[in-house]
Amino acid sequence: MIALIQRVSEANVVVDGKVVGAIGKGLLVLLGVEKGDDDKKAHRLHEKVLGYRIFGDENDKMNLNVQQAGGDVLVVSQFTLAADTKKGMRPSFNGAPPAEAERLYDVFSQYCRDSGVRTENGIFAADMKVSLVNDGPVTFWLQV
C-alpha cells in the first residue's frame, strides 16, 4: 500500500463540476492499493501517515504531525501509484482488483476518521480534478 502525501494549505476534489471533498491545512493523501494489501497494511499506513512529522513547530522545524498541527486529511484513490514502470514507455497496471482496492481505500479512510482526524474523500474510480496548494512544497512517498 502506497501513500503519496503532500502538506497543503488547501486542497479539493471536483467530480462532474461539484466539489466532493475539501480541506484547509493538512495532508492530501494519494492512496495506491497494491495486490496483496490487506487491513493490517491499511492500519499501519494510516498510523504512518497520521504520525509523520512534517508540520512546523514553534521554531519552524518539521516536528509536528497532522493531528498536532490541527490539520485535516483528504484521501484520493490513485491506482497509478501501483503501476509497474520498470520497462518500456507505457505503464503496466497490475494492482489490487478494483473491489478490493475500493474496500481498502474505505478502510484506510475510516481508520483516519476513527483516529479523530477530519477526513474527506474523493470518489473511488471517478474522473477527479484535484486542486491543491502544496505548502513548502513538502511531498513524501510512504509505503508499507
The catalytic residue positions are: 78-80
Cα distances (angstroms) measured from residue 103 to each of 13, 88, 120: 20, 31, 16
Selection from 102, 90, 85, 89 nearest residue 31 by Cα: 102
- 86 is written with which cell numbers? 520498470
The 3 state secondary structure assigned to 11-46 is: EEEEECCEEEEEECCEEEEEEECCCCCCHHHHHHHH
